[in-house]
Amino acid sequence: MQDTLSITGLLVAQLLPWACGAVWVRWLLARTGRCNLAIVLGQGFFIGIFLTTLVVRLWDAVGMTLNFTALASVVAALTLLGALLQLKRPATASVAVNPSSTPWQFTLVCVLLALLVWRYSTLFQELLLRPLYAWDAWMNWAPKAIVWFHQGTLVDYVSPQGWWTADVDNYTLGNRQAWSYPITVPLIQLWNMLGAGTWDHGGVYLSWLLAPLCLGIALFGHLRLAGVSLPLATVATYLLLSMPYLNVHSVLAGYADIWVAAAFALGVCALREWEQTRHWAFAVLCLALAALCTQLKVPGIFMALILLGAGLRAWLALPPRLEAGLSLVLLLGATVLIALGVSADIPYLGHVSLSFERMEIGRMGFFEPALHPVGGVIAEAFFELINWHLLGYLVPTILLYGLFRGKLLQSPDAATLAVILAFIFILGVFFFTGYYTQALNNATLNRALLYTVPAIVFVSALHLPLQKTD
Residue 1 has pLDDT above 50, yes or no: no
Using a 10 angstrom Cβ sphere, with 0-12 exposed, 13-18 middle and 19 or more buried, the burial of residue 374 is buried
Residue 156 has pLDDT above 70, yes or no: yes
Residue 274 has pLDDT above 90, yes or no: yes
233-248 mean pLDDT: 94
Q: How confident is the model at residue 100 (pLDDT cuts 50, 70, 90)?
A: low
Contact indicator for 30, 88 with CB cutoff of 8 Å: no
Residue 131 has pLDDT above 80, yes or no: no
pLDDT for the residue 470? 47
251-268 mean pLDDT: 94
Q: Which residues contact 134 (CB under 8 A, 6 or more apart)?
A: 252, 253, 254, 255
297-311 mean pLDDT: 94
pLDDT for the residue 167? 65
Residue 300, Cα to own-chain centre: how many angstroms? Answer: 8
52-81 mean pLDDT: 96
Mean pLDDT lowest for which of 189-193, 258-262, 277-281, 325-329?
325-329
Residue 138 has pLDDT above 80, yes or no: yes
Percent of the chain with pLDDT over 70: 92
245-272 mean pLDDT: 94
Contact indicator for 174, 139 with CB cutoff of 8 Å: yes
Residue 101, Cα to own-chain centre: how many angstroms? Answer: 32
Q: Which residues contact 49 (CB under 8 A, 6 or more apart)?
A: 17, 18, 21, 188, 207
200-228 mean pLDDT: 94
In whole angstroms, give the CA distance from residue 264 to residue 281.
17
In total, the chain counts a number of residues equal to 470
Using a 10 angstrom Cβ sphere, with 0-12 exposed, 13-18 middle and 19 or more buried, the burial of residue 332 is exposed
Q: How confident is the model at residue 305 (pLDDT cuts 50, 70, 90)?
A: very high
Q: 423-444: b or e for each residue (b if 16 or more CB lie within 10 Å)?
A: bebbbebbbbbebbebbeeeeb
Q: How confident is the model at residue 209 (pLDDT cuts 50, 70, 90)?
A: very high
In whole angstroms, give the CA distance from residue 417 to residue 228.
20
Q: Which residues contact 282 (CB under 8 A, 6 or more apart)?
A: 29, 32, 270, 271, 273, 274
162-189 mean pLDDT: 84
Q: How confident is the model at residue 394 (pLDDT cuts 50, 70, 90)?
A: confident
Residue 168 has pLDDT above 50, yes or no: yes
In whole angstroms, give the CA distance from residue 77 to residue 50.
16
Better-predicted residue by pLDDT, 31 or 340: 31
CB atoms within 10 A of CB 88: 6
Percent of the chain with pLDDT over 90: 54
In whole angstroms, give the CA distance from residue 29 to residue 222.
12
pLDDT tens for 346-392 read: 777 777 777 777 777 776 666 777 888 899 999 998 888 888 988 88
Q: How confident is the model at residue 172 (pLDDT cuts 50, 70, 90)?
A: confident
142-160 mean pLDDT: 91
pLDDT tens for 412-450 read: 889 999 999 999 999 999 998 888 888 888 778 999 999
In whole angstroms, give the CA distance from residue 20 to residue 13.
11
DSSP-derived letter for residue 363 is G
C-alpha distances (whole Å) from 166 to each of 87, 150, 157, 224 are 52, 20, 10, 54
HEC states along 58-113?
HHHHCCCCCCHHHHHHHHHHHHHHHHHHHHCCCCCCCCCCCCCCCHHHHHHHHHHH
